[in-house]
Chains A and B, each alone.
Chain A
Amino acid sequence: MPRIVCSAFATLMLVLASTAARAAEPTPAPTAAPPRTVLYLNAARLDFYYNRFLIEGDGNVRVRTSDGFTVTGDAFSMDLKLNRFMIAGHVTMHDATGTVSGAAIADFLDFRRIYFVPVTSEPDRWTFLNGDLAHPVKGREMPGDAFYFPEVNEHPSVTGTGAVIDSKTYVRFINAHTYFLNSGVPLGTYVVNFSSNQYFAQNTLSGASVDLTWTMAGSPNALTALHLRYDPTYKTYLSVEQHLVGDHEYAIFSVNPATRAEKWWNLALYEKLGSRFQIQSFTQYYTQQAWLREPQAAQQTTFINATYAFPHSYVTASSQLTNYSLLGPGSLQPHGTVAGSLDHPSQLQVTASSFQNKIGNLPLYEQIYEGYGFNHDTVGGDQYLQGFPGHGAPIPIPGLQAFGAPCPDQHGVKPPPGASAVYYCPVYTTIWNTVLGFNLFTPSIKLNQPESPYETYYFNASFNKQYQWNSLPHWISTTNENFSISRQFTRALNTYVGYQILNVGDHYIKGGYLPCEPVNTSTCPLSFTSFRGVSTQRTTSLGLNDAPNPEFNFSLLVRHHDDYPTAVPGLFGLPPNNIIGQPLYTSYLGQAPYDATGDVRFKILSHAMLDLSRTFYWYGNPYRTTFWQPTFVVQLLPI
């Protein structure tokens, strides 16, 4: 009852906050769309410099523009980011009003200014304003760098003989070649997308150790790419990805790996409707099939997320639907089928969150949230298998969790003959939950007032409390407290000391976690026998960063975990690592009591930095076990 009252109160507060603030909603100011121009470019040779977004062309240059004129000349230069181009040497400009010859022409597309050096009886300087090619302004002073060629010393990334350039969006090279070990690799067409629309960067491919991308087709709203990839699991393979992008939506589809029997078909969709609502989804369809033959296994999982924004709060609905086998009942028996479980769980959570609000004039901010939802599974996964390991084979059970008295069967299924396992009833196939929580934090408080800012100490703190009540009668309480004191010693050097306490309690109203057994064994050490579903993780951190210049950075993080249950080497599973060797999740039971992570970044190329990091773990007494993170994490970062 108290939790219902709390939830109802929080809902009321959220709605009131939304209503009261509606009048203060700002009106968005209209912005003018930038002019868009398409250039159709041909030349004896075109060079593209990826790191500077430059196109340089020489010999028989011909440019036709969507603005209605054609220019020929000896040399071409375009800065795609500045959105301006220049043609020089024996220039001829032709449009509906006639033909004029000259020495050079520069088109500043963003500003709708064309600067021309014609040669009639003598040279002159003409400026065309706002696309009016019939009435040049003669003699007008020009920008000092209107006709400058950029200085390039490196090898081009891509060469070609033609290009279609859509200003501020993409360029498609024709007869393109790229270079590997100074050898030309023919690409046919090659598309470079440099749109500022971040949706083009969304991708649905999983990580890979190496990815060579051939973007073979593109338009202002689409991009098609073929990826040659390598990872330790699937080795070398090809993948395909298609982007369809608009101003307020995107659709991204991929097959990865496309040339292996195990294929992951991914589809990400996003749409923003109006200014307050967005919906997005991600669907992953897994098949095991040779090329496009009938699959031997097929799984699917879909995430759907919808958000509605209020003036001072928002509501999010998140859902996940999974089918571990789409081949259907009876499909597991045919020879050659590798499909596994017929499990098809689903989950929905609706959460309302307030904005971060300052509390009066205090240096404190609060945020509250609450949610309702359910998890549903009639077949059962492998969490909380019924029957005790060591007391019989794992028993497939229907539902999410069995919690009750021993019973002879579950949903009519009896234990396997000879198994000593115990079935419990009832089995929960749907678990409803209510979540209520809040954040309280203070961004930065000065602890002293010295003359020098490099002698100032800052204090930060945050506090999070969350309850989750479940229809299977248990409730989960999470408390997370963070404190830190930091100081910037010089412009380059800063340090901090942090302390975190994370309490997680899984409280069953009746019963709960049982003691492990047999005690004092490798699977049930003495330090673990008193665990009853409540953990406390205390972490002390010392961090140091030294960045003497933007091209070099060193950081060190040393931590001490004083946790309950006590960490025992090999007892708790370690989190799996991602493709580059970092743990997938960062807070878990059994963390090594000490760890130290060093990270160094330094510039190796004009536009790239190398990032090297590695972590060392040690357990201290009595185990004295030590180990390194399996490999160095090496990343090449573009500047």
Chain B
Amino acid sequence: MRRIAFAVSALWLAVVLLAASAGNIVVSGQLLAYQDGYVFFTTGDGFHVAQDIVIRDAKTGGPTALHPAPRIWARATFDPNGRVTELDLSRAPLAPQGSFADVARFAVALSSPVPNPDLLDAATTPPPGQTTVATQHFSGRPVLVTFIVQVPPYTPFTSSIYIATDQSGWNAQAIPMDRVDALHYQITRRFASGTVFRYLYNRGSLQTQEIAQNGLARKPRELVVTDADVRVLRDTVYAWQDAAPGGLNQVQPQIMPTPYNPAPFPNLPPGLPPPQPPAGKPPR
């Protein structure tokens, strides 16, 4: 008889606990603020905090020295009235649990929600021709971007070609490229969609940077990485700053002393006499 009574009591207790837990919702996220009787998550939503809120360590379930504050990760337990009754805190990110969509109805806000015309519908496909940042949706997915550049025909065959970008502080050798034929180099890099950066091609230094077709310094090219599996960019370099056409007579600042006589063979053996007219026949 006693055994049956114990079993019935246990069953009743289990049912009560189950019923109680069924009314609670647990959500994990990062705290934005904890003040004025509210706890705010980085969604921007603020929720009422129960007066007898329990604060625990998320890992051990025991007491914690952490206080609810910005950047702290928390697992929040909501009672059926939408009050947060328990916060389990952690400095490290917590495994995702629950959904803020389930507790959105508990978020406290004085004003009624108003649509924001600035925000784009993620499902909307931008109309053809619209590629600007302000009107395009980016998912942030990794996109393989292949750069293929055609270089001037007088580019030395063993030249190394690089891409300098504002993302790397215009480091001249940030992205080295590989030669694919007599006139083309290519490289593939992975960028998150939505990445915007400016870039220029060079031959290893900013003194060997590309210039515009009209001989002037060119503005950096701008790339907006749009959502795609792969993107291929084909660019043309018309001239290099240090090696414009007709540059046989141009001198290199690294070489001192500079050979001022524009003769074509800089490393002839020392045993070779300098060019001379035939004996007895001075040039006219």
Contact = CB atoms under 8 A, between A and B. Distances in A.
Contacts of B246: 349, 351, 353, 369-371, 435, 437, 466
A479 interface: no
Interface stretch (B51-59, B77-85, B269-277): B269-277
Nearest to A196: B166
Interface in B179-229: 179-184, 186-190, 198, 200, 206, 212-217, 220
A242 interface: no
Chain B interface size band reads 35 or more
Nearest to A485: B181
Given A309-B215, A539-B157, A504 B264 contact: yes
A259 interface: no
Nearest to B213: A355
Nearest to A587: B156
Given A196-B166, A198-B166, 16 more contacts: A121-B110, A149-B42, A301-B253, A356-B238, A401-B263, A405-B280, A435-B249, A439-B154, A444-B184, A462-B153, A506-B263, A511-B275, A516-B272, A533-B275, A547-B187, A587-B157
A517 interface: yes
A458 interface: yes
Contact of B248 (A384, A435, A555, A584): A435
A523 interface: yes
B239 to A, nearest CB: 8
A466 B248 contact: yes
Interface string B256-281: 11111111111111111111111111
A143 B167 CA distance: 25
Contacts of B186: 494
Nearest to B219: A198
B269 A512 contact: no
- Main secondary structure, interface of B, reads loop
A90 B33 contact: yes
A137 interface: yes
Contacts of A198: 164, 166, 170, 198, 200, 206, 220
A433 B246 CA distance: 12
B245 interface: yes
Nearest to A506: B264
Contacts of B183: 441, 443-444, 460, 462, 482, 484
A58 B206 contact: no
A74 B206 contact: no
6 contacts: A124-B109, A353-B244, A461-B182, A510-B283, A582-B160, A637-B174
B218 to A, nearest CB: 10
A373 B178 contact: no
Contacts of A373: 249
Contacts of B279: 405
B26 to A, nearest CB: 21
Contacts of B264: 476, 478, 504, 506
Contacts of A195: 166
A498 B249 contact: no
Contacts of B256: 301
Nearest to B281: A510
Given A383-B261, A405-B280, A424-B276, A496 B245 contact: no
Nearest to A532: B275
Nearest to A74: B70
Contacts of B282: 404-405, 425, 510
A125 B109 contact: yes
Interface stretch (B1-9, B14-22, B115-123): B115-123
Contact of A514 (B158, B216, B270, B275): B275
Interface of B: 30, 32-36, 38, 40, 42-44, 46, 69-71, 93, 107-116, 118-119, 144, 150, 152-154, 156-160, 164, 166-176, 178-184, 186-190, 198, 200, 206, 212-217, 220, 238-239, 244-246, 248-283
A382 interface: yes
A403 B181 contact: no
Contacts, number: 409
A345 B259 CA distance: 10
Chain A interface size band reads 35 or more
Contacts of A142: 44, 116
B214 A310 contact: yes
A349 B216 contact: no
Interface in A464-483: 464, 466, 468, 470, 473-474, 476, 478, 480, 482-483
A309 B171 contact: no
Contacts of A276: 214, 216
A383 B182 contact: no
A593 B240 CA distance: 29
Nearest to B230: A491
Contact of A572 (B153, B216, B267): B267
Nearest to A508: B275
Contacts of B238: 355-356
B277 A508 contact: yes
Nearest to B112: A139
B45 to A, nearest CB: 8
A270 to B, nearest CB: 7
B122 to A, nearest CB: 10
A117 B40 contact: yes
B157 A586 contact: yes
A578 B160 CA distance: 14
A579 to B, nearest CB: 10
A27 to B, nearest CB: 15
Contacts of B275: 384, 403, 474, 506, 508, 511-514, 533
Contact of A89 (B34, B107, B248, B276): B34
A201 B206 contact: yes
